[in-house]
Amino acid sequence: MPLTELTAYQLAQQIKTRKISCREVTNEFLSRIEEVEPRVKAFVTVLPDEARRRADLLDKRLAGGEDIGLLGGVPVAVKDLICTRGIRTTCSSKMLENFVPPYDAHVAERLAVEGAVNIGKANMDEFAMGSSTENSAFFPTRNPWNLNCVPGGSSGGSTAAVAAQEAPLALGSDTGGSIRQPAAYCGCVGLKPTYGLVSRYGLIAFASSLDQIGPIANDVRDSALLLQAIAGYDRRDSTSINRAVPDYLASLTGDVKGLRIGVPKEFFVQGVESYVVDAVRAAIDKLCELGAEAVEVSMPSAEYALATYYIIAPSEASSNLARYDGVQYGLRVAEPGDDIIAMYSKTRAAGFGHEVQHRIMIGTHALSSGFYDAYYLKAQKVRTLIRRDFEKAFSQCDVLATPTAPTVAFEIGSKTNDPFSMKLADVCTIPVNMAGLPAISLPCGFQNNLPIGLQLIGNLLDESTLFRAAHAYEQATEWHKQRAVVEKS
């Protein structure tokens, strides 16, 4: 079996027992990237030299009897809004096309400590604003299951890399579904952790109260392994939770007896395709066969989550992106004789794409005098109602089960002129971010050879129960074993 078909857990175990070397693994994945990347286009930057140097160092440490960490020798693709010292970090934007950070993000530090090999920086929607990875300033990424379709977004490059076997693991970020929705479209396992469980230090911000870094993998065990490596307190992030990290791998028991699965009726509504509803309900039935109990719950405020999100997220984006003004770093566009206002205007017009400009304008308007109370303040109040709905639901159940996305992946270009339809791609994932909860997406079926995603939502800091339920379902089905076939270029 090619090394690219092994899970990250299997690779780490074989490296640890010296059956294979870090260099062999790295070379195999770099060869795979060379073969399929011209068609998939998952990466903004591939790091062959750096990856091989890192692999050789790990092999030397291993030969000396050192413990090289949970992920020792395993390649990881890193979404290109996570700062990596000395390696270009672009946010897939012209604004930061040549930006090289002088420091590592906390998660990049954790990957280094746990022995991972950074194999490349993954493409994304510009500044994480989008649901299809068509908004990258450089090129769209394609879905490995059907190269005419989108991989989802904004972490489309990360999920496409995993689905195309260009990397066994990837890091993404999730603001309104940007890990889970592309994971559903690409047939991967994507986890959005509890807000604050994984440090956001060094994550280039979109919406600070919603953003969360998380793992993307081919199965639940690998997802748990990567979360184990990156979770934990970081004093540099004021929202980081100072609490011991559980042993997530220990929760993979395969036993869901007595687990109560909540089924919120508001997530099975018009707009969610019937084939998605059927696949998700079949998955819930499978969990019940394994010993879980399904209970219907109601979340009446969920229908307002999408509108609420598109006030709060752009407002925070407007504030966060104000720093890109051409003064200290990033793009600067100016002509002789320009004053500072002209320089600001030209720089931001040239550096930001249409979608980013659109969201900045919405956010600036929502925060402006005379509109703050009518929009932003009201949206925050609705956010509280959404969080209370979740609290009530979790008083009746342990885990919620919903679709991840209302459809399978759509064709590239088919929704670019229909922004409302594009935004509906995240209708099932956004409520989770509004409440700061953990949620995982895993494959539960196919339609027209494109994967369908099951979303399991957990209570605050209860990733262990999520992994328990997801792993039990995964082991009782065959969906996660299917792989996309990408023709070599």
**Among residues 287, 215, 290, 138, which one has the least CA distance to residue 441?**
215
CA distance 124 to 138: 10
Assigned token pair, 449? 């050879």
Joined together, the tokens standing for residue 24 give 């062999």
Phi, psi values for residue 148, rounded to 5°: -85, -5
- What's the pLDDT score for residue 240? 98
Average pLDDT over residues 340-358: 96
How many whole angstroms separate alpha carbon 89 and alpha carbon 105? 11
Q: What's the pLDDT at 481?
A: 95
Helix (H, G, I), strand (E, B) or coil at 15: helix
pLDDT band at residue 74, thresholds of 50, 70 and 90? very high
Question: Quick one: pLDDT band at residue 21, thresholds 50, 70, 90?
Answer: very high
The C-alpha atoms of residue 230 and residue 207 are separated, in whole angstroms, by 21
Nearest to 198 by CA among 228, 219, 177: 228
- Report the run of H or E that residue 146 belongs to, with start and end: none
In this model, does residue 76 exceed pLDDT 80?
yes
pLDDT of amino acid 271: 87
pLDDT digits (tens, 9 = 90+) for 369-403: 889 999 999 999 999 999 999 999 999 999 999 99
DSSP three-state, residue 488: coil
Residues 6+ apart with CB under 8 A from 483: 5, 163, 165
Beta strand spans in 255-390 (E): 260-264, 293-297
**452: β partners:** 445
The mean per-residue pLDDT over the stretch 111-137 comes to 98
* Catalytically active residues, by annotation: 79, 154, 178
Give the model's pLDDT for residue 58: 98
Cβ-based neighbours of 213, under 8 Å, separated by 6 or more: 82, 107, 171, 172, 173, 174, 193, 198, 199, 200, 203, 230
> What average pLDDT does the segment 13-33 reach?
98
- Rounded average pLDDT over 461-478: 98
Q: What is the pLDDT of residues 223-237, one digit of tens each?
A: 999 999 999 999 999
pLDDT in tens, 304-338: 999 999 999 999 999 999 999 999 889 999 998 89
pTM: 0.97
**If we measure between CA atoms, which residue out of 454, 483, 482 comes closest to residue 469?**
454
pLDDT at 489: 62
Distance CA 143, CA 471 (A): 25
**Does residue 95 carry a pLDDT above 90?**
yes
**Beta strands 399-403 and 450-458, pairing class:** antiparallel
Q: How far, in Å, CA of 181 to CA of 204, rounded?
A: 20
Strand 450-458: give its sheet, edge to edge: 43-46, 117-122, 75-79, 169-173, 213-217, 189-192, 439-447, 450-458, 399-403, 260-264, 293-297
Straight-line distance from the first to the last Cα atom of the chain, in angstroms, rounded to the nearest whole number: 21
> At CA 187, angle to CA 183 and CA 193, rounded to 5?
30
**CA–CA separation, 88 vs 314, rounded Å?**
26
Three-state SS for 59? helix
Burial of 236 (0-12, 13-18, 19+ CB in 10 A): exposed
The structural domains of the chain, with segments of one domain joined by +, span 3-252
Angstrom distance (rounded) from CA 364 to CA 372: 10
Residue 400 confidence (pLDDT)? 98
The answer to whether residue 270 scores a pLDDT higher than 80 is: no
What phi and psi, each to the nearest 5 degrees, are found at residue 69? 100, 170
Structure letter (DSSP) for residue 425: G
* Amino acid symbol at 124: M
Q: What would the pLDDT profile of 412-459 be if each residue is shown by its tens digit? A: 999 988 888 898 899 999 999 999 999 999 999 999 999 999 999 999
| pLDDT for position 366 | 95
CATH code given to domain 3-252: 3.90.1300.10
Condensed to tens digits (0 to 9), the pLDDT of residues 272-300 reads 999 999 999 999 999 999 999 999 999 99
Is 18 strand, coil or helix?
A: coil
Determine the pLDDT at residue 419. Answer: 82
